[in-house]
Chains A and B, each alone.
Chain A
């Protein structure tokens, strides 16, 4: 499809394991954003990319979280040594470089850490 694609849609893992979440943005969108949505809360900003570089990673909670976008398209959010508190829906969004003010969101990856 033409929208933002996120995989996996659901991931269950054990405490301490390593997890990767993938985001495939809309073709041609240069800006890519990661958000985290905990149960009953609004999404919280994690990081955003302008092309290949992380323009702002101030929302990453700690150094267990890392994200890459090596070719300026697909992005991967990586979580090391997962903890139960990492359980949430991880949302990816993309937008054109022009300041239109509209983000296009994927359906999210639901992470459950047991």
Chain B
């Protein structure tokens, strides 16, 4: 069984400030890690993913995340946010040992609403 905890339900920040959205997970098996973003009135969109290799992964729109296996964390960061980054962000994991397309069987966190103020 897997679980994902997003430690902040809401994060307000001013434009051009840095931001970190925190994500911790629990799993008895190795995992793949994802961040998805949901803009208002749109479907979920993949921001970035960690499958293997370098623990620092870069995604779209200047976001990056670092996989820390010892701390079971996958925090999302951006050095300077824009108004357009206002959205809800979801951290998710899937079983990397399941094979086939079971990677798409995701366990999501509860989401973090990022609000960027001018």
Contacts and interface: CB of A to CB of B under 8 A. Distances in A.
A4 B104 contact: no
B88 to A, nearest CB: 9
Contacts of B34: 101
Interface residues of A, number: 30
Interface of B: 4, 6, 32, 34, 36, 41-46, 49, 51, 90, 92, 94, 100-111
Interface in A31-51: 31, 33, 35, 40-45, 48, 50
Given A42-B4, A43-B90, A50 B101 contact: yes
B110 A101 contact: no
B38 to A, nearest CB: 8
Contacts of B46: 101-103
Contacts of A99: 51, 100-101, 103
Which residue among B34, B44, B101, B111 has the maximum number of chain A CB atoms within 10 Å of its CB?
A: B101
Nearest to A58: B105
Interface of A: 3-4, 30-31, 33, 35, 40-45, 48, 50, 55-56, 59, 91, 93, 95, 97, 99, 101-108
A55 B101 contact: yes
Given A42-B111, A101-B34, A101-B51, A107 B43 contact: yes
Contacts of A101: 32, 34, 46, 49, 51, 94, 103
B5 to A, nearest CB: 11
Given A55-B100, A101-B51, A106-B43, A44 B105 contact: no
B104 A43 contact: no
Given A40-B110, A42-B109, A91 B101 contact: no
Contact of A91 (B44, B102, B111): B44
